[in-house]
Amino acid sequence: MAGGIAGPLSELIEQRIMPMATLQGVRLGFPAGGYMRVVAAFRIARARVASHSLVEQATACERLAIGPRLLAYKLGWDFTHAFNPIPMFNDGTDLLGLNGRAVPAARRAEEQRWCQEWGLNMLTRGGHQNLPPDAARTGTDLWAVDPDDPIVLQVAEFRKRRNAA
């Protein structure tokens, strides 16, 4: 991003390469603000994870493993939903003509789109390790939190101590 090639690289990936991987009108992509929004959030999350005390003494190999762990569910479902591409339908796709599986696939794609937006929102709040609540999956509350989530409880406790000081 600082070198000025992020924009053209984003255009290449998002507009040229990813649409080539289409199967019956369904492709993977990043609808919630595009690829650049996800890349910016990924950089911040990776830096935040790398700054934790346990990672400071980590080897170079362990530091390289942070990125794949963010993409998997290893460090929290908010990261997984925020950073991975989701299924999207190309414009003009006949939803009823996709082998009879279009309606459930469209519902799953819609749910994943809401979960991706929720994941990006949770990263701005400090994280949410558990699965997205039902309100986030349906798109009714993209800031919904599970009150029993350990990350949410830690962030709330930290903010309470900070406000009391």
In a domain, 139, yes or no: yes
C-alpha span between 116 and 33 (Å, rounded): 10
Q: Long-range contacts: 71-76, Cβ < 8 Å, 24+?
A: 75/49, 75/129, 76/127, 76/128, 76/129, 76/151
Instruction: Domain count for the chain, please give it.
Output: 1
Q: Which amino acid, residue 17?
A: I
At 132 the pLDDT is 87
DSSP state of 129: -
At 69 the pLDDT is 79
In a domain, 160, yes or no: yes
Q: How many CA atoms lie within 13 A of 92 on its CB side?
A: 0
At 13 the pLDDT is 76
In a domain, 1, yes or no: no
Taking 70 as the pLDDT cut, the residues of the chain under it are 1-3, 22-25, 32-33, 52-58, 90-103
The dihedral sign for the CA sequence 26, 43, 61, 10: positive
Burial of 88 (0-12, 13-18, 19+ CB in 10 A): buried
> What is the residue range of 60's domain?
6-164
In a domain, 70, yes or no: yes
